[in-house]
Amino acid sequence: MMDTQEFKRWGHFLVDMIADYYDNIENFPVKSQVKPGDIISKLSVSAPKESDDFKSIIEDFNNFIMPGITHWQSPHFHAYFPANASFPSILAEFLCSAIGAQCMVWETSPAAAELEEQMTIWMRKFVGISDNFHGVIQDTASTATLVAMLCAREKYSNFSINKSGFSHSKFRIYCSKEAHSSIDKAVKIAGFGIENLVKISTDENFSLIAEELEKHIISDLKNGLIPLAVVAALGTTGSTAIDPINNIYEICQKYNIWLHIDAALAGTALILDEYSELRNQVNNADSLVFNPHKWMFTNFDCTLYYVKDKDTLINTFSILPEYLKTSNDDKVNNYRDWGIQLGRRFRALKLWFVLRSFGTNEIKRRIKLHIDLAKDFAEKVCNDTNFELLAPTHFNTVCFRFAPKGFNGNIDALNESILKNINDSGKIYITHTKLNGKYTIRFVVGQTNTEPIHIDYAYELIKEECYRHFK
């Protein structure tokens, strides 16, 4: 077994190994090139009875595991949305594992609870949103949206569903057709039934059409249904579309509906003054979620959930069995009551390390750089008549396809094969979506260390692969 001397030896070794990994990360194929079953076939069929030496564990990690890793931290990663990490955040995670605290209540680690409280305040100020919001760190945006739906349900029902279960009332939840699947999941889990999630049509920019929303609400009311919550998107996953939050807010006010904003990725952009108008709009919401683990250099997982009505949040989730009662319960935040799970990781530490180690100016500089690079990329796409830009570039995501003049074949199939060839090359990694039924390549700029040189490289690579078909 590993003693402290061995731990030191391998700890130092691993820090060197990690630093070398980052120095050489661009040499790895960004998307793992293994086939299904390749990794499991290399693993022994059961756990060893006796201790393996750590050297052989590391060797197997390098030989068996690394080939099956997709390198999310490569500056050539332009797929999905980022889950970007950084050195201060990695070191915080290291300390977190060492402390190994389970931070369910204040007393089980007062520093974790109080740092979490302070980090939600720092972040609220950094993002520039109203101090009427109370924050808590959750694991993911999916959880935070579920929490919002449960709060809306309990507020509306005066906590009767928590107590007695559903009666026959049919609650209705609304979001745009472009909204994230985590809303579907939340609606199912919260017991509303997926048939009661109303997907509202979007306009040419993939933003929810507010008039359509109101029409559905009126019709639902006529049919005896209960409009409960709207989830507005600030940055959809497909194209980073922005729903008309002001109009949606007016509708929510008129019909007494909970407004939750899903800004999972784009919440980070609110730190920039260019987006101050969006900040003002967000301030009207009942709740808001965004993920520093996506685009703020903080390792997965770290989600900020802000809610105005803290009492409803706590009344929805609070459970106090005898064994969890402490003498300080009335003086402190016991975050087990602010969400779903009892046990909690010490997530605030990495946020603290990131905010202090980068400083807010450097975080702003990098986020602005990512947005500028995405906009430059979009401009290049627009300037080439054989490409089509398929959605506005509001933040760091460019949606486009190759549609060469005079091409009579299947454009979807063409773009699908371009994407596959690029990803199989291992040089960069991009993914796709469908917008208006069109196969769309999404190019995202968001990895912590992405610089202009990486974007130039990616653009040339994509162009070369596209035109290779038409020489």
Based on CB atoms, which residue is closest to ligand PLP, 157 or 291?
A: 291
- State the number of binding residues for ligand PLP (CB under 6 A): 14
Based on CB atoms, which residue is closest to ligand PLP, 435 or 466?
A: 435
291 lines the binding site for ligand PLP (CB under 6 A): yes
Q: How far is the CB of 261 from ligand PLP (least distance, A)?
A: 10
How many CB atoms lie under 10 A from the CB of residue 412?
15
Q: φ and ψ at 249, to 5 degrees?
A: -60, -45
187 lines the binding site for ligand PLP (CB under 6 A): no
Q: How far is the CB of 391 from ligand PLP (least distance, A)?
A: 14
141 lines the binding site for ligand PLP (CB under 6 A): yes
Contacts of 178 by beta carbon, 8 Å cutoff, 6+ apart: 202, 206, 208, 233, 236, 237, 238, 239, 241
Cα–Cα distance for residue pair 234/228, rounded to 1 Å:
20
Contact (CB, 8 A) for 306 and 120 = yes
Q: How far is the CB of 304 from ligand PLP (least distance, A)?
A: 11
Contact (CB, 8 A) for 256 and 286 = no
Of residues 251 through 290, those in contact with ligand PLP by CB under 6 A are: 262, 264-265
Of residues 161 through 180, those in contact with ligand PLP by CB under 6 A are: 180
Among 140, 283, 326, 386, binds ligand PLP (CB under 6 A): 140
Determine the residue type at 50: E
465 lines the binding site for ligand PLP (CB under 6 A): no
Of residues 389 through 418, those in contact with ligand PLP by CB under 6 A are: none
Which helix (H) or strand (E) segment holds residue 199: the answer is: strand 197-200
By CB atoms closer than 10 A (0-12, 13-18, 19+), residue 357 is middle
Q: Which two tokens mark 328?
A: 């300080």
Contact (CB, 8 A) for 235 and 179 = no
Phi-psi region of 191 (alpha: psi -120 to 50; beta: other; left: phi over 0): left
Based on CB atoms, which residue is closest to ligand PLP, 231 or 422?
A: 231
DSSP 448: T
Binding range to ligand PLP, per CB under 6 A, among 29-37, 121-129, 139-147, 411-419: 139-147
Q: How far is the CB of 80 from ligand PLP (least distance, A)?
A: 7
SS3 label, residue 203: coil
Binding range to ligand PLP, per CB under 6 A, among 126-134, 140-148, 252-260, 327-335: 140-148
232 lines the binding site for ligand PLP (CB under 6 A): no
Q: φ and ψ at 403, to 5 degrees?
A: -135, 75
Q: Which two tokens mark 61?
A: 């990690």
Of residues 64 through 83, those in contact with ligand PLP by CB under 6 A are: 81
Q: How many CA atoms lie within 13 A of 80 on its CB side?
A: 14
103 lines the binding site for ligand PLP (CB under 6 A): no
Binding mask 292-311 for ligand PLP (x = CB under 6 A): -----------x--------
Based on CB atoms, which residue is closest to ligand PLP, 105 or 266?
A: 266
206 lines the binding site for ligand PLP (CB under 6 A): no
Q: How far is the CB of 237 from ligand PLP (least distance, A)?
A: 4
Identify any residues that bridge with 230 across adjacent strands, giving them in sequence order.
174, 259
Based on CB atoms, which residue is closest to ligand PLP, 79 or 151?
A: 79
Q: How far is the CB of 451 from ligand PLP (least distance, A)?
A: 24
Q: Where are the alpha helices (DSSP H) in 321-451?
A: 348-358, 360-383, 411-425
Cα–Cα distance for residue pair 366/446, rounded to 1 Å:
9
Contact (CB, 8 A) for 425 and 50 = no
Q: How far is the CB of 139 from ligand PLP (least distance, A)?
A: 8
237 lines the binding site for ligand PLP (CB under 6 A): yes
Q: φ and ψ at 239, to 5 degrees?
A: -140, 10
248 lines the binding site for ligand PLP (CB under 6 A): no
Q: How far is the CB of 140 from ligand PLP (least distance, A)?
A: 3
Residues in touch with ligand PLP (CB under 6 A): 81, 140-142, 180, 182, 235-237, 262, 264-265, 291, 303
